[in-house]
Structure 1
Amino acid sequence: MRRGLDHVVHLVRDLDSAGEIYDLLGFTVGARNRHPFGTENRIVQTDGFFIELLQVVEPEKIPPATETAFSFGAFNKAFLERNGEGLTMAVFEGRDPVADKAEFDAAGFGGFDTVDFSRKARRADGQDVDVAFSLAFAASPTAPDLGTFTCLQRKPENFWSADLQRHANGVTGLAGIVLVSESPVDDIPFLDTVSGVSVNRASEGWFVGQTPRGQIDLMSRQLYSDRYGVPGPVGEGLRLAAVRFATTGAPELRRALAARRMVEEAIEGMVVVPPRAALGAAIVFERDV
Structure 2
Amino acid sequence: MRPIDHVVLPFPDLPSARSRLEALGFTVAPDAVHPFGTGNACVFFADGAYLEPLAVVDHGAYGDALGEGNLFVQHDAAFRSANPLPAFSGLALRSDDALVDRDTLAEHGLGEDGVVEFSRDLVSPDGTSATLSFRLTFARSPADFGATLFFCQKLHRMAPDRAALTCHPNGVTGLSRIVLVGEVSPATRLLLESASGVLPTAEGAGTLRLALAESALEIVTDDIAAERYGSCRKDGRGLVIAGIVLSVTDLVATRAAVGSAVLSDQPGRLTVPLDAGGSAFITFEETPA
With normalisation by structure 1, the TM-score equals: 0.90
- What does residue 22 of structure 1 align with? 21
**Superimposed CA distance per residue, residues 31-67 of structure 1 (whole angstroms, 9 cap, x where no aligned partner):** 011111111111100121000010012233232378x
**CA–CA separation in structure 1 for the residues paired with 2:26 and 2:193:** 31
Mean Cα displacement is larger for which, 133-142 or 34-43?
A: 133-142
- What does residue 64 of structure 1 align with? 66
**Superimposed CA distance per residue, residues 189-222 of structure 1 (whole angstroms, 9 cap, x where no aligned partner):** 1111111122122222210011013111011222
- What does residue 174 of structure 1 align with? 175
SS at match of 1:107: coil
**CA–CA separation in structure 2 for the residues paired with 1:232 and 1:154:** 38
| Residues 129 and 180 of structure 1, relative CA distance in 2, 3 Å threshold | same
Q: Give the aligned residue type for 1:94.
A: S
- What does residue 75 of structure 1 align with? 75
Shift of 1:177: 0.5
**CA–CA separation in structure 1 for the residues paired with 2:90 and 2:51:** 10
Alignment of 1:240-259 (within 5 A): 240-257=241-258
Structure 1 residue 13 and structure 2 residue 7: aligned? Answer: no
SS at match of 1:226: helix
Shift of 1:160: 5.0
- What does residue 101 of structure 1 align with? 102
**CA–CA separation in structure 2 for the residues paired with 1:78 and 1:278:** 21
- What does residue 284 of structure 1 align with? 283
**Superimposed CA distance per residue, residues 108-155 of structure 1 (whole angstroms, 9 cap, x where no aligned partner):** 211322222111121122112100011121022144530111111122
Mean Cα displacement is larger for which, 150-159 or 40-49?
A: 150-159
- What does residue 237 of structure 2 align with? 236
Number of corresponding residues? 284
Contact 1:183 1:220 in 2 (8 A): no
**CA–CA separation in structure 2 for the residues paired with 1:15 and 1:175:** 25
| Residues 174 and 112 of structure 1, relative CA distance in 2, 3 Å threshold | same
**CA–CA separation in structure 1 for the residues paired with 2:257 and 2:181:** 29
- What does residue 51 of structure 2 align with? 51
**CA–CA separation in structure 1 for the residues paired with 2:110 and 2:31:** 33
- What does residue 214 of structure 2 align with? 213
**Superimposed CA distance per residue, residues 234-275 of structure 1 (whole angstroms, 9 cap, x where no aligned partner):** 463221111111001212222443xx3211242121010124
- What does residue 128 of structure 1 align with? 129
**CA–CA separation in structure 1 for the residues paired with 2:159 and 2:103:** 29
**Runs of 5+ unmatched residues, structure 2:** none
| Residues 156 and 236 of structure 1, relative CA distance in 2, 3 Å threshold | farther
**CA–CA separation in structure 2 for the residues paired with 1:143 and 1:39:** 26
SS at match of 1:16: helix
**Runs of 5+ unmatched residues, structure 1:** none
**CA–CA separation in structure 2 for the residues paired with 1:70 and 1:267:** 43
SS at match of 1:36: coil
SS at match of 1:20: helix
SS at match of 2:30: coil
Contact 1:129 1:158 in 2 (8 A): no
Percent identity (aligned): 31
| Residues 74 and 134 of structure 1, relative CA distance in 2, 3 Å threshold | same
Contact 1:184 1:205 in 2 (8 A): no
- What does residue 227 of structure 1 align with? 228
| Residues 72 and 270 of structure 1, relative CA distance in 2, 3 Å threshold | same
Contact 1:40 1:54 in 2 (8 A): yes
With normalisation by structure 2, the TM-score equals: 0.90
Contact 2:72 2:116 in 1 (8 A): no
**CA–CA separation in structure 2 for the residues paired with 1:280 and 1:129:** 36
| Residues 131 and 284 of structure 1, relative CA distance in 2, 3 Å threshold | same
